[in-house]
Chains A and B, each alone.
Chain A
């Protein structure tokens, strides 16, 4: 087990280390020599480590039991977050390693909560890396590793499953490495399209790439202090709105789109629910906010952007929603609870879980009305999914348990009640901004180090849908007791 764990950790680290080549190139381009070394040294170290373990024992990596898969995935995410914090810390922009770690975890989990108040003074390569962590973490570092590195092929299915979100994890293709390749290809293509669109809408190439990474990963880091508001460009806002929504749809659906399976897309329960929620939220908030804006199109743009930003758990900002009417703020807050679709890069509880629960509710009411009736729960038109609803119910229980524990810890470290609660929702849901004193214009820099560490745990737990980290913790505790 330890051998498998070490080998998979070193492999993924080697891969993430290799991805440092991009910020290294950016640093070289802008002549940021000090930051360049902050990337080159850990990159070389990761290569040495991966090379050493690869030479020591070659051949396919066998994951073994199901529990191992959860342990490996949990460990990989923790180690990768630590590793990603090294260049941030080494470049000197962060006041301590915990701040750098918070930023790195916030990046990989696509939360997008920053400890910095001034990101514009950062070196270009550091900003690039911050957005790149969103992009890597969005689709999943393990999925990327399985797609690119053949030795992870055996048992990789379990690994990717433990990393992917959603209650029901389908297979697009017979082999998981093919599935991972397809998903990553779709991801890369969407990123390229958005980069080009942003550039043509008036952004520079650097900002366009960073924001495309940030949008597709549904992260929320920006290269500007005022996030997207600083561009004051309606076209950019519309493009980001569209791509935030696209990124919070199950990427498997794009594969179905490529295959031309329209009916399966149409029958997708989650997509229907997602479209319904998005339209309802945009419509409702537009009506509520209409009086405070000059034109309806301005209102619609601002509202659509904010709705997309929150439901996709991105956390970009074009407007400070704390200045909105309380009713529209409540609509935004309710989106914190919903989240994007399963199998997307978005976080949160996921639309499918709410769809399942609402269908279960309908069946329960029908059962009251028709004591002899027989009912079934359909997901994507497929019947007999009744047992999914109990998984979903227990997930939501665990999710809210984590939210309340996190809120409690936040309240203990001096946050006010509303801020503590919404920040907790924001961390576990990987959104980014919260309400109260941690609103979209504020940052997380002033929190106590202990709270930052706990938030790191909450973000990772939220990204891996709670169970993976629960099993990791449980498994290591048991090992300790056995030893």
Chain B
């Protein structure tokens, strides 16, 4: 695939790096000369020094033959105009734009919902943007996913009720000291371990891998079995909602989180809505933000003050909350807030961090889940750029592995072979046959046959796209 990326900031470069690893041909465009020089020496791709919102520049960068245009420049307007311009001449190119301003996003959302007919078929979406990425929405969604599944860890939802949940092995777990091939002898355990993160690093487990306390496991399980997994791993209490959640930071991510929560966006149909409703409280230091919050959401309790202030924590009982999400714009502060409240007695603490490397540090401080802002944005852009057969991509183990959901392609070498004969490259594994030829989903075994058109879930080392291409073509 050929992809043009406008904006060589952190997100643009990360994205280019991933795309290059996936054998895309990438052209980066940035208006900052120094940045262009810098990035040009780091990455094996063309870097153009120019404004992105010019059709001439885009044509020079090869938009005519490109498959996708990703606009992640600093300015929303540049991103939107670049897509809009390119769309007027090259409507076939897939356009993805990062738009931070909520008003623009809501406008597009409103148009798409209320004028669905006008924007369907051959008619192009507003501004010609096929996928609009708002960092706040993406991050809030990632946090929501973590909360819904009891804040045990990040949960990757795979459909058909399956998910891969990340849990930390407790000291009392019966799994400790057992090699993986003997795990089925542990009473009640019939789950697949997808990935293991030890102090030494993240690995795709083999039969000889031995688990020890403190390891973080990625376990494939049905969603209704998640609490059984947590119990066997001794991962601490597993609440399914109906508790109290405090969101520290009434900024954009905080308000999107509240909105998502109140709208029941993450409600699971099988569990009664009332049972999973969190009672939400918001803490922020700014009076005007607090006021805006309380005026916008009537069900939310808002406290004005510093969440790490002992008096406030005691008076408002923050230490007895079930979940605390530190989601302010000050990412370093989020770490401190989440770690402090966790030590004060909060059951689960979640922190929004800037990057994956800080997220790793957060875990060491006792934070249960750290959601990296930039990583989440890159992930969600990547999930739209994997070709038709790739349905979704999630990053786990702080970026060490990717969980890829894809369809077995027509001309793929793997079609018709049993799994053991396919010969997936090293550093890749097939986790789940999500939608087999017979319509049944199952955890695959050696003799499972790969049928054309069936959906499978792979786990691969980050950047290693060979396995995915072998299956999805």
Contacts of A376-399 to chain B: CB distance below 8 A:
376, 378, 383-384
Give A432 Cβ to nearest chain B Cβ, in Å.
40
Beyond A383-B295, A384-B295, is A374–B315 a contact (Cβ under 8 Å)?
no
In the complex, what residues of B have CB within 8 A of residue A370's CB? Answer: 301, 303, 315-316
Whether A378 and B298, one on each chain, are in contact in the complex, defined by CB atoms closer than 8 angstroms, is yes
B304 at the interface (CB under 8 A from A): yes
In the complex, what residues of B have CB within 8 A of residue A383's CB? Answer: 294-296, 298
Residue-wise interface mask of B (376-412) relative to A, using a CB-CB cutoff of 8 A (1 in contact, 0 not): 0000000000000000000000000000000000000
A59 at the interface (CB under 8 A from B): no
Give B318 Cβ to nearest chain A Cβ, in Å.
10
In the complex, what residues of B have CB within 8 A of residue A375's CB? Answer: 294, 302
Whether B291 and A373, one on each chain, are in contact in the complex, defined by CB atoms closer than 8 angstroms, is no
Whether B302 and A373, one on each chain, are in contact in the complex, defined by CB atoms closer than 8 angstroms, is yes
In the complex, what residues of A have CB within 8 A of residue B291's CB? Answer: 374, 376, 384
Contacts of A314-372 to chain B: CB distance below 8 A:
370-372
Whether A374 and B298, one on each chain, are in contact in the complex, defined by CB atoms closer than 8 angstroms, is no
Whether A374 and B316, one on each chain, are in contact in the complex, defined by CB atoms closer than 8 angstroms, is no
Closest to B293 in A: A374
Whether A372 and B295, one on each chain, are in contact in the complex, defined by CB atoms closer than 8 angstroms, is no
Whether A373 and B295, one on each chain, are in contact in the complex, defined by CB atoms closer than 8 angstroms, is no
In the complex, what residues of B have CB within 8 A of residue A378's CB? Answer: 298
Give A350 Cβ to nearest chain B Cβ, in Å.
24
Give A294 Cβ to nearest chain B Cβ, in Å.
46
Residue-wise interface mask of B (301-330) relative to A, using a CB-CB cutoff of 8 A (1 in contact, 0 not): 111110000001001100000000000000
* Most A CB within 10 A of own CB, among B287, B295, B301, B305: B295
* Docked complex Cα distance between A383 and B294 (Å): 8
In the complex, what residues of B have CB within 8 A of residue A384's CB? Answer: 291, 295
In the complex, what residues of A have CB within 8 A of residue B229's CB? Answer: none
Main secondary structure of the interface of A (DSSP, over half): loop
Closest to B306 in A: A372
Whether A372 and B304, one on each chain, are in contact in the complex, defined by CB atoms closer than 8 angstroms, is yes
In the complex, what residues of A have CB within 8 A of residue B283's CB? Answer: 372
Whether A373 and B298, one on each chain, are in contact in the complex, defined by CB atoms closer than 8 angstroms, is no
Give A22 Cβ to nearest chain B Cβ, in Å.
49
Give B425 Cβ to nearest chain A Cβ, in Å.
56
Whether B312 and A374, one on each chain, are in contact in the complex, defined by CB atoms closer than 8 angstroms, is no
Contacts of B254-305 to chain A: CB distance below 8 A:
283, 287, 290-291, 293-296, 298, 301-305
In the complex, what residues of A have CB within 8 A of residue B287's CB? Answer: 374
Closest to B303 in A: A372
Closest to A386 in B: B291
* Docked complex Cα distance between A208 and B301 (Å): 54
Give A260 Cβ to nearest chain B Cβ, in Å.
18
Closest to B283 in A: A372
Give B371 Cβ to nearest chain A Cβ, in Å.
26
Give A384 Cβ to nearest chain B Cβ, in Å.
5
In the complex, what residues of B have CB within 8 A of residue A373's CB? Answer: 301-304, 316
* Docked complex Cα distance between A477 and B390 (Å): 84
In the complex, what residues of A have CB within 8 A of residue B294's CB? Answer: 374-376, 383
Give B309 Cβ to nearest chain A Cβ, in Å.
9
In the complex, what residues of B have CB within 8 A of residue A374's CB? Answer: 287, 290-291, 293-294, 302-304
Closest to B282 in A: A374
Whether B316 and A372, one on each chain, are in contact in the complex, defined by CB atoms closer than 8 angstroms, is yes
* Docked complex Cα distance between A373 and B301 (Å): 7
* Docked complex Cα distance between A371 and B315 (Å): 8
* Most B CB within 10 A of own CB, among A372, A375, A383: A372
Residue-wise interface mask of A (24-45) relative to B, using a CB-CB cutoff of 8 A (1 in contact, 0 not): 0000000000000000000000
Whether B295 and A376, one on each chain, are in contact in the complex, defined by CB atoms closer than 8 angstroms, is yes
Give B378 Cβ to nearest chain A Cβ, in Å.
36
In the complex, what residues of A have CB within 8 A of residue B293's CB? Answer: 374
Give B246 Cβ to nearest chain A Cβ, in Å.
12
Give B279 Cβ to nearest chain A Cβ, in Å.
13
* Docked complex Cα distance between A185 and B287 (Å): 46
* Most B CB within 10 A of own CB, among A370, A371, A374: A374
Residue-wise interface mask of B (13-36) relative to A, using a CB-CB cutoff of 8 A (1 in contact, 0 not): 000000000000000000000000
In the complex, what residues of B have CB within 8 A of residue A372's CB? Answer: 283, 303-305, 312, 315-316
Closest to B287 in A: A374
* Docked complex Cα distance between A466 and B437 (Å): 80
Closest to A370 in B: B316
* Docked complex Cα distance between A373 and B295 (Å): 13
* Docked complex Cα distance between A263 and B246 (Å): 31
* Docked complex Cα distance between A351 and B295 (Å): 23
* Docked complex Cα distance between A463 and B312 (Å): 49
* Docked complex Cα distance between A391 and B298 (Å): 23
In the complex, what residues of A have CB within 8 A of residue B305's CB? Answer: 372
Closest to A383 in B: B295
Closest to A384 in B: B295
* Docked complex Cα distance between A374 and B287 (Å): 8
Give B282 Cβ to nearest chain A Cβ, in Å.
9
Closest to B312 in A: A372
Give B454 Cβ to nearest chain A Cβ, in Å.
47
In the complex, what residues of B have CB within 8 A of residue A376's CB? Answer: 291, 294-295
* Docked complex Cα distance between A351 and B345 (Å): 46
Closest to A385 in B: B295
Q: What would 30 A/B residue contacts be, using CB atoms closer than 8 Å?
A: A370-B301, A370-B303, A370-B316, A371-B315, A372-B303, A372-B304, A372-B305, A372-B312, A372-B315, A372-B316, A373-B301, A373-B302, A373-B304, A373-B316, A374-B287, A374-B290, A374-B293, A374-B302, A374-B303, A375-B302, A376-B291, A376-B294, A376-B295, A378-B298, A383-B294, A383-B295, A383-B296, A383-B298, A384-B291, A384-B295
A373-B304, A374-B291 are known; give 18 further A-B pairs, CB within 8 A: A370-B303, A370-B316, A371-B315, A372-B283, A372-B303, A373-B303, A373-B316, A374-B293, A374-B294, A374-B302, A374-B303, A375-B294, A376-B291, A378-B298, A383-B294, A383-B296, A383-B298, A384-B291
Q: Rank and list the top 4 A-B pairs by shortest CB-CB distance, nearest first.
A: A383-B295, A374-B290, A372-B303, A374-B302
